[in-house]
Structure formats: structure tokens, C-alpha cells
Amino acid sequence: MSDTFVCCPFCGLLCDDLTIALNKGQAQIESAGCARAVKLFVVPRQSQALVAGQAVDLAAAYRAAAAILTRSQHPLMGGLACDVTGHRAALALAEKVGGVVDHMNGQAQFRNWLPFQDGGWMTTTLSEVRNRADLIVLAGTDTSRFPRFFERCLTPESQFGELHRQIIALGTNLPLIPGRPTDTDLAIPIQNERLGELFAALRARLAGHRLDAPDIAGVPLAQIDALLVALHAARYGVLVWNAAELDFPNADLAIQAMVNLIKDLNRTTRWSGLPLGGNDGDTSAAQVCTWQAGYPLRTTFEASGPHYEPMLYATDALLESGDVDALVWISAFDPERTPPTANCPTIVLGRPDMIFTRPPDVFIPVAVPGVQHTGFLHRMDAVVALPLSAPAPADLPSVAQALVAIQQKLNHAAA
Amino acid sequence: MLRLKGGRLYDPAHGIDGQVGDLYVEDGRIVADPGPDAVIHQEIDLTNRVVMAGAIDLHTHIGGGKVNIARALLPEDHRFDPAPATDLMHAGCGHAAPSTWTTGYRYAEMGYTACFEPAMLPSNARHAHLEMGDIPMVDKGAYAMLGSDDFFLRLLATGADQRLVNDYVGWTLDSSQAMAIKVVNPGGISAFKFNARNLDLDEAHPYYSVTPRQVIQTLARAVHDLGVAHPLHVHASNLGIPGNADTTLATMAAAEGLPIHITHIQFHSYGMEGERKFSSEAERIADAINHMGNVSADVGQILFGQTVTASGDTMIQHRNRRHASPDKWVCMDIECDAGCGVVPFKYRDKNFVNALQWAIGLELFLRVTDPWRIFLTTDHPNGAPFTSYPHLIRLLMDRNFRNSKLDEINPEAAAHSQLRQLAREYDLYEIAIMTRAAPARSLGLSDRGHLGVGAAADIVVYRDDTDREVMFAKPEYVFKDGRLIVRDGRVVEVVNGAVHVVKPEYDKGIEKPLKDYFDRYMTVKMEHIKVSDDEICSCGASRLIPHKCSVSSS
């Protein structure tokens, strides 16, 4: 392939314009890497499988993992930070053992899935934002968890001529906007916990209702009305949020207030939502589970078929309640995403440089998708799935290979 | 070698209409009678059985982003139809927006061996192929959507040479691994991004100033010039809007004699007569099809019950949000490429409009005289889930049954419809045409849809039953590429189908302006939007079957 550009799997933007050189077997970013990518592209080529903290060969680790799963009545396939092929294998294993699936970013994902399944929404994708958005409202996020968001999606040049974008930030962090005079932008200080109130008030004003309060969530009514005028004036407005940063009780209702305002605005003008996310392969995990089982994760495989309980099958709740009796933690992208504390046997398929304060029952080092093995991954908008290359191949199993090996040991045990 | 002995063969591609005969199968193919000395390893006596080629659905939304949105949106629908895992089959869910696994199993259980996803956005192609990779049992293929993508509209607006457009269309087919080109509400998905809520056939796009008519003519010409077997697949403007039959007739005429396929034409056959300003124009539409040999259509029959509509037509789906049942809906603008809208629907037999839609679809089936040019679809899941095909076949084959159902619908709608006067009953030969031979011919699948020597051994055996719904719901045997995959309506072996694509000739120089466009305006590299041949099997298909395009000299 003539293509020399590499796709970065380490955040939901999936920037695919990186150039990479090999230096002593290590991938080294030559251009277009953010700090996160520069750090995470460096992966050891080898690591040691562990059972009960002792070094073992991979076959012994697979056997130990299979033994745990054989004893388990209801294991949790958690983490799920891997590529599409890994997700397929994880779902196959969950189906085989009657397990439940949730992603490590499940709390954030379901803040979006709940309003989505309750009322639907209107959203857009990154290239639409880049070409059309003349007003961007950042609700409770400065987008810094997606380091190249401004550079990739909010350049002035568009195919419809130069865009004079206005950016309105709602929250406690004013975003740092590279190369832009901040005085053209508007920042409205508001606690994230109160964003729902603000959006409900905007909806009410849009519908022509009077509000009998001097302010809503600390925002004076006059400013709310001025904001509404600005929203109305946009040709193509985009409301951006990151569910992971809306970390407070019932944040799904705040998101619902946002998406309902977008729907209302679309009666007369064009607005779309852009839910940031997609880190740690979470978009792919939800997509694969949806097409295979019908539900976007938090699904258990029962004898009668897949069973979906978005409120009950959350990783933390399952581990706390003891509804699961084994944890398989898949974390192939970020060594800091170690498993949560669990009172049940834990199997970790982790990046080779993962460090534990207390080693899990079984640790299987796995290759990093997009660095050490090829694969597929979805961008945050779930539309674009990109091919991952392997600029620094290593002699480690992929998540899918490790899971298939474990499942084969299970089959042997059953035979 | 397998001998299928003494069945009644329905093979319209060879003019065989129920004659008794033997079929021989070896290495996945139908082979000639090997003579009396050949070793027959297995023989199945098919006396009194009806034998047809595997059925082909040329318009069914089975895989791609909007289907997954529909699945995620409807957990309450899945709960009524869970599919447990078995020793053979994966778990999943069925009904309106079934999971990929279940989609493949249930299609095969009805005797279908190939399914074509009609709305694959090039920007979403890799995802669509990944999804279809997890649809087992059947062959698959997809139509790439063009006509609201900004690159094309820019070409059109700047008066680009047709040859340049052809190169772009060829590149799109190649790089998205598609079987045909579809256009949805030509230019309208783009116009909605500029806040237009309507775009009629001769109305100028609010930004590009081109008209849907130009979009259709340019794309139909490109598909023809490239030698793609399937004509331009057109989801016309004004879907679902009373009075849209005029638009539909004008759209057919816009092709100016070039081949054109009008999809889910039921949704485009509405008049504005009567107190409710909603009436059937099925007769006028069917007459036009009967007189225009360049036009084919699939019906998009609606059937009563809960379903979900999933379409690239954001403009219309946003308008339809008022009818959402349950009351939730999704619209999405996508990558300067297209869009999608997902709106759950419940068609009710006592509702005047829904009942008339039902009758209009059936009228179209019965009034179009040439079964080679009208295809059996429900536009799954938009009109009804594909699992309702056996019921639909019975409606076409059994006039008494049809009239008994007519008695149950909204009486006012029944009175408005001329359905009761239509005495036609489809016979098995015509069903074999419209579900096998004709779609294979339309798609250019030379070794599918028939039972001749050299054909892939995709063979379905039915017990003859006067209740055609029972008959077509549970074939006795289904063979896929010579393997027995279904017995008595149940999967007995799981296979993985191939992906069919066309490989047109085009000038790869088109990549120069495309690369520049992607680099300047898109958030993905052009190289990465392309799906390579190698990826098709990594996505899950058993193999890639490329089809050459035959460029005519005219």
C-alpha cells in the first residue's frame, strides 16, 4: 500500500495522519502525534504472563483462565478496551460461558444510551462539523481529552468557504483555543451538575414560556435569552458534550435536556449534537454488541437469549453486589486502565506494560491494536471505522487470539 | 455427487415451469446429468416437491450504521423475540431490527441465499462490511449511496465532464466494495443540511443550484457507461408525501430511456384525491412501468404491526418524526457524504392511511404485468420485517385470502381501493421469477437465481401446500453452494456467505482530486476510506466474488 499514514487508536478521534518510524523495534511518532499518542505508541515488545503473581508460559495462563471460567456461574467480560476482532471474541466467549458484557467506559456510554433509547436524538460527524459548524457550544467539556479536536475539526477552511466560527463554552473550564482570539468567544460559567437546568430553561424560552426566576443555575435570564438568540442565528450549530466529563448523578437527564433542545431548534434551523467519546475502543464495543446481540452492551447471555439491563449490569454494581463471580478485564490500549477492585477471581488481558499494585489471578499480556497488530476500530461518531496498522509488530497474542485460546481450553475441559 | 430426484422444477431463467426433473450437484455447483454409470453418493427423492433456486432479496436493510442505530433504539422490540444460542447458532434477537446472526439464520430458513443491503454510505462502508461479515448463511452485497455527497455535487455544480463523474462513480464502487449505485432523495439529504425541508425533482439545491433531475440523469448515465449490471437504484424525491405519484412518473421519465430501478415504489404511488387528500395512484404508476421497458421497481410492501423505518433520507425522516411509534427517533448528518434517519413505526390496519398503503402495494404487485420488472420486497424493515415474506406471497397467490384480509382493514380505505376487483393470482412460476430469476438478472449474477448447469447449487425445496404462507415459511431443504444448511425450516449447518461486488474500469487519476479534497476538507485520509479486497474476508465474509462490468459499445 502506498499509504504511509498510520491511524492512532488512543482516543475517539482516530486521527489517521500520523507518520511513524521504527526505532529499535519501538514505534516512534514522527509527525502529527499528540502527547497522549506519543506516550502510548511506545509499548514493550515482550512481557510475562502471570498466574497468582508467578511467571508462567502463555499456555499455562490460558489454562488457569479457563479453570476460573469453568468454575464461574456468571462471569463479567469487562474492560473491553480492544479492537473489533477482540470484541467479537469477547462476545463469543461471553455467550459460551453465560457471561455479562460491559465496557470500562460504561458509565459514560450509558449516560448517552439512556436518553438515546428514551427519545432519540440528532447528531452529526466530524467532517460535517469541520465543514459546516458556524456555532459550536461546548457543554461541560474543554475537549482536552481529545487533544487534536480543534486542529482536526474546527479549522477555519471549509469547502463552503472560510468559516467564522463562534465558540460558546458552558462550564467551569474555558477551552484554550489555539490560534484564536478568545474575545470572539463567549464563556458562561456554570457547574456541570446544573447544565440540565440551563438547557431545560432554554427549551422553555424557545417554546415561549416565561421563567419566574432572576437566573437559572446562576445564569441571568437576559443571558439565557441572548444565548437563545445566538443559537437561533446559527446556520449549522453543533452542541458538543463528553458524557465522561458529566460525572454526576442522573447526568443522563442533563444530556436528554441537551438533545431535546437540539430537536426543538431543528423545527426551524439546523442543529446537531456531537457526543465526544470513543476512547479505549468503547464505540466499537457498543457497535459490535449491538449488531450481534441487538443491545449496546450491559447484556448477559442467558439460556433464553441475550438479556439487557442497562441499570443493573454496570461493572461497579455487578462487582459490588456479587452478581458476578469472575472478572475478565480486557485493557489493551492504556496501561493505566487496570481492573477495578473485585472480590472475585480476576483475569486480565492487558497491555504488556500494565503495572498492578496487586497482581490479578491471571495476567495475559496482549498486543496493542494499531501498534503491534492490525485491526479495525470505530471513531467516536460510530460511522467511520478505520483500519489499524501494526507499525511495531510484537510476538504477543492479540486479545482475540488469547480469548480464542482460552475458549479452546474450556472446550477441552468440557469434553 | 448428489442427485435431487424427481422434483417439480421452477426455473424461469430456462423457461422451466413445473416440469419434473432431476438435479445433480457436485462441488457446490449444479452439473449435467452424468449418465447411468456415475457414482451418486446421495440421492433425495423429491417427488411432488417444488424446487426453486435460492431466493434473492435485492433490497433489504440488513447491515450498516442506520441498521445498528435502529437496533440500539429498540430494546423493547427485541425483548419479544429473543434468539437463544444453540450448538450451531449464536444468540441474538429477531423481529423489526434483528441482530446480524439472526438475520442470516432466518433468511436461510425461508429459502433465501443472497441479500443485498441497498444503502451503504461510502464513509460507512468498512462498518457495513464488518456488520455483514457477521450475517451468516447468505451471500451479501451492498449498493453505495451517492447523490448527496458534496464531492459529487461539486462536480455537478461546476459542470464537470460526464467522464470525470464516471471515474468518481467507478472509484466509489471499487473503494467501498459495492454491487450497485443507489441515490436517495437526490440531492435532498444534502439540501436538508442547508435547512431545506423539500426538494422537488426540478427544484434547485439551495447551495449547489443543481436539481434532483440532473443528479439522476448524471448517475444513471455513469452507471450505464461503467457497465454496471444493476441500473441506478433510485429512492425518489418526496417519499410518502400525498401526491408524490407525479414526482415518481417524472423521475421515471427523467432517465430518458436509460435503465432505472425505482425502489419501494409503494411509498411513491400516492395521490391527493378524496376527503383525506390521500389516494392510490397504483394504476397510473403500474401503467407507466408496463409501458416503459427501461424501468424496474421493487414494491416495499407494508404489512401491519410494529416495525422501524431506517433510511438515508434525513429530510423525509425528520418530517416523519411526528408518526414515530414509540415516540423516539434519530436523525444524523454524515461526513459530507449523506445522512440517516431512524423512526419506529406501527402500521395499523384500522388506520386509513396505513390500510391504503397496504392496498396500494398489493395493487402494484397485481397491476404490473411483467414479473421480471417488479420485485418482492417490504424494504425491510421499513414496510415490514423480512420474516413476513411468506405472508406476502400468500396475499399475492391467494385471492380469497387477500380479500378476507381486505375485509379486516379500515373500511373506508378498502372502499377507496380497487384491490378487490383485481382477480390476478401469482403462480409459482411468477413467484420464482420475482424472487429468484429476475433479481439475479437485474444484478448480473449469472450463476445465481437459476437451476441450469454451472449455477451455484443454491437450491430450495418446498412441500407443495395450498397454504402458501406455510409452504414458503418452512422449506423442506435449503442448499447453499451445495451444502444442506436448512432442513424443515431449521438451520442444520452454519455457513458463511460471500460478498458480491462489481469491478468497473475507470481512470484512477480521479484519486488526485479526491486526495486533495480529503486532505483539505475531510477528517479521514482518502486512502483509509477505501476498503481493500483483502479486508472483505477480515471483516468476516467467506470470500469476495468480483463481477466484471460489460461496457456496451453504444
On the question of pLDDT at B265 being above 90, the answer is yes
Q: Look at the block and give the residue holding cell 491494536.
A: A369
* CB-based contact B130 A95, cutoff 8 Å: no
Residue of A nearest to B317 (CA): A122
Dihedrals phi, psi of A369, to nearest 5 degrees: -60, 135
Intervals of chain A under pLDDT 70: 1-3, 173-184, 413-415
* CB-based contact A293 B522, cutoff 8 Å: no
Which residue in the set A3, A95, A307 is minimally distant from B527, CB to CB? A3
A162: buried, middle or exposed (CB in 10 Å: 19+, 13-18, 0-12)?
A: exposed
B274 assigned to some structural domain: yes
On the question of pLDDT at B540 being above 70, the answer is yes
Q: A236 in contact with B at a CB cutoff of 8 Å?
A: yes
B396 assigned to some structural domain: yes
* CB-based contact A286 B333, cutoff 8 Å: no
Chain A residues within an 8 Å CB radius of B92: 292-294, 305-306
* Non-local CB neighbours of B159 within 8 Å, separated by 6+ positions: none
Average model confidence (pLDDT) for chain B?
Answer: 97
| Percent of residues, chain B, with pLDDT higher than 90 | 99
On the question of pLDDT at B477 being above 60, the answer is yes
Residue A256 neighbours by CB distance under 10 Å: 22
On the question of pLDDT at B416 being above 80, the answer is yes
For the record, the C-alpha cell of B260 comes out as 432505472
Reported as a single tens digit per residue, the pLDDT across A362-390 is: 999 999 999 999 999 999 999 999 999 99
Chain A with chain B: Cβ pairs closer than 8 A: 193
B536 assigned to some structural domain: no
Residue A21 neighbours by CB distance under 10 Å: 12
For the record, the C-alpha cell of A134 comes out as 458556524
Q: A180 in contact with B at a CB cutoff of 8 Å?
A: no
**Total domain count, chain B:** 1
Reported as a single tens digit per residue, the pLDDT across B323-353 is: 999 999 999 999 999 999 999 999 999 999 9
Chosen from B209, B330, B523, B528 to mutate, greatest number of chain A CBs within 10 A: B523
| Domain membership of residue B362 as a residue range | 53-491
User: Which residues of B, range 291-330, sit inside 8 Å of A by Cβ?
Assistant: 318, 324, 327-330
Which residue in the set B101, B331, B527 is minimally distant from A122, CB to CB? B331
Q: What is the DSSP letter of A353?
A: T
* Non-local CB neighbours of A50 within 8 Å, separated by 6+ positions: A56, A61, A359, A360, A362, A363
Query: B69 CA to chain A: closest CA distance, Å?
Result: 9
Q: Do the Cβ atoms of B254 and B237 come closer than 8 Å? A: no
Task: Specify the pLDDT at position A2.
Answer: 42
Q: B72 in contact with A at a CB cutoff of 8 Å?
A: yes
Which residue in the set A88, A127, A292 is minimally distant from B335, CB to CB? A127
Cα separation of B68 and B396, whole Å? 31
Reported as a single tens digit per residue, the pLDDT across B281-331 is: 999 999 999 999 999 999 999 999 999 999 999 999 999 999 999 999 999
* CB-based contact A292 B134, cutoff 8 Å: yes
Chain A residues within an 8 Å CB radius of B330: 116, 120-123
Task: Specify the pLDDT at position A162.
Answer: 87
Task: Specify the pLDDT at position A73.
Answer: 96
Cα separation of B554 and B543, whole Å? 34
Which residue in the set B82, B332, B522 is minimally distant from A304, CB to CB? B82
Chain B residues within an 8 Å CB radius of A153: 523
**CA nearest neighbour of A382 among A67, A109, A47, A143:** A109
B262 assigned to some structural domain: yes
Chain A residues within an 8 Å CB radius of B124: 383-385
Cα separation of B223 and B172, whole Å? 11
Reported as a single tens digit per residue, the pLDDT across B170-207 is: 999 999 999 999 999 999 999 999 999 999 999 999 99
Task: Specify the pLDDT at position B338.
Answer: 98
Dihedrals phi, psi of B72, to nearest 5 degrees: -65, -30
Task: Specify the pLDDT at position A411.
Answer: 76
Task: Specify the pLDDT at position A179.
Answer: 55
Mean pLDDT of B20-29: 98
Which residue in the set B150, B328, B528 is minimally distant from A386, CB to CB? B528
Q: A275 in contact with B at a CB cutoff of 8 Å?
A: no
Q: B425 in contact with A at a CB cutoff of 8 Å?
A: no
Cα separation of B212 and B220, whole Å? 12
Task: Specify the pLDDT at position A177.
Answer: 61
Confidence of residue B461 (pLDDT cuts 50, 70, 90): very high
Chain A residues within an 8 Å CB radius of B148: none
On the question of pLDDT at B73 being above 80, the answer is yes
* CB-based contact B527 A306, cutoff 8 Å: no
Q: A316 in contact with B at a CB cutoff of 8 Å?
A: no
Chain A residues within an 8 Å CB radius of B194: 270
* CB-based contact A84 B130, cutoff 8 Å: yes
On the question of pLDDT at B430 being above 90, the answer is yes
Chosen from A127, A235, A263 to mutate, greatest number of chain B CBs within 10 A: A127
Which residue in the set A2, A292, A386 is minimally distant from B90, CB to CB? A292
On the question of pLDDT at B386 being above 70, the answer is yes
Chosen from A17, A373, A383, A389 to mutate, greatest number of chain B CBs within 10 A: A383
The ipTM (two decimal places) reads 0.98
CATH number of the domain within which B200 lies = 3.20.20.140
On the question of pLDDT at B483 being above 60, the answer is yes
Confidence of residue B274 (pLDDT cuts 50, 70, 90): very high
Cα separation of A157 and A395, whole Å? 43
Chosen from A93, A157, A384 to mutate, greatest number of chain B CBs within 10 A: A384
User: Which residues of B, range 172-191, sit inside 8 Å of A by Cβ?
Assistant: none
B34 assigned to some structural domain: no
Task: Specify the pLDDT at position A1.
Answer: 38
B484 assigned to some structural domain: yes
**Which letter, b or e, does each residue of B167-199 get, where b requires 16 or more Cβ atoms within 10 Å of its Cβ?**
bbbbbbbbbbbbbbbbbbbbbbbbbbbeebeeb
Q: Do the Cβ atoms of A318 and B101 come closer than 8 Å? A: no
User: Which residues of B, range 123-162, sit inside 8 Å of A by Cβ?
Assistant: 123-124, 126-127, 130-131, 134, 150, 154
Query: B90 CA to chain A: closest CA distance, Å?
Result: 8
* CB-based contact A291 B99, cutoff 8 Å: yes
Task: Specify the pLDDT at position A4.
Answer: 86
B348 assigned to some structural domain: yes
For the record, the C-alpha cell of B8 comes out as 417439480
On the question of pLDDT at B550 being above 90, the answer is no
Which residue in the set B68, B337, B522 is minimally distant from A291, CB to CB? B68
**Which letter, b or e, does each residue of A94-130 get, where b requires 16 or more Cβ atoms within 10 Å of its Cβ?**
bbbbebbbbbbbbbbbbbbbbbbbbbbbbbbbbbbbb
Q: B91 in contact with A at a CB cutoff of 8 Å?
A: yes
Confidence of residue B86 (pLDDT cuts 50, 70, 90): very high
Q: A77 in contact with B at a CB cutoff of 8 Å?
A: no
CA B245 and chain centroid, separation: 21
For the record, the C-alpha cell of B83 comes out as 434468539
Cα separation of B137 and B491, whole Å? 9
Reported as a single tens digit per residue, the pLDDT across B347-382 is: 999 999 999 999 999 999 999 999 999 999 999 999
How many CA within 13 A on the CB side of residue A69?
33
Q: Do the Cβ atoms of A137 and A104 come closer than 8 Å? A: no
* CB-based contact A292 B328, cutoff 8 Å: no
Chain B residues within an 8 Å CB radius of A1: 527, 532
* Cα–Cα–Cα angle for A330, A52, A340, rounded to 5 degrees: 40
Mean pLDDT of B113-142: 98
Query: B328 CA to chain A: closest CA distance, Å?
Result: 4
B46 assigned to some structural domain: no
Task: Specify the pLDDT at position A178.
Answer: 58
Which residue in the set B92, B98, B193 is minimally distant from A270, CB to CB? B193
Q: What is the CA radius of gyration of chain A?
A: 23
Q: B533 in contact with A at a CB cutoff of 8 Å?
A: no
